[in-house]
Amino acid sequence: MLRHNVPVRRDLDRIAADNGFDFHIIDNEIYWDESRAYRFTLRQIEEQIEKPTAELHQMCLEVVDRAVKDEEILTQLAIPPLYWDVIAESWRARDPSVVWPYGFCLVW
């Protein structure tokens, strides 16, 4: 993996706001950081990223399956009660990408 420093878009704050992404800075710290990018080899992707990513995805699906049956879990995840029924309905419709979009950052 190679780290590359890249210039940040000057109008990033406006672009984020225009797209409803109002949490790119949290508690005065940058959450969405465009100042660097990472390049991986195909071998790194195939051997070190794909399997852990699939495992994380499966773990997320297992959490959703438990959470839609247990309001305490939804509360622990800080999901507002307003969304509980929508999440459960989406899960029952077998639409996990809508139920639980997630992102993660890989840091070495």
Q: What tokens does 16 get? A: 């984020």
Structure confidence at residue 24 (pLDDT): 74
CB count within 10 Å of CB 53 equals 13
Tell me the three state secondary structure of residue 9.
Answer: coil
pLDDT tens digits, one per residue of 6-60: 999 999 888 888 988 877 778 888 888 889 999 999 999 999 999 998 998 899 8
Structure confidence at residue 103 (pLDDT): 52
Q: Report whether 81 contacts 72 (CB < 8 A).
A: no
CA distances from 52 to 27, 49, 59 (A): 30, 6, 10
The rounded distance, in Å, linking the Cα atoms of 83 and 89 is: 10
Residues 6+ apart with CB under 8 A from 8: 34, 35
Using pLDDT thresholds of 50, 70 and 90, give the confidence band for residue 85: very high
Q: Report whether 31 contacts 25 (CB < 8 A).
A: yes
Give domain limits for the chain.
1-39, 41-107
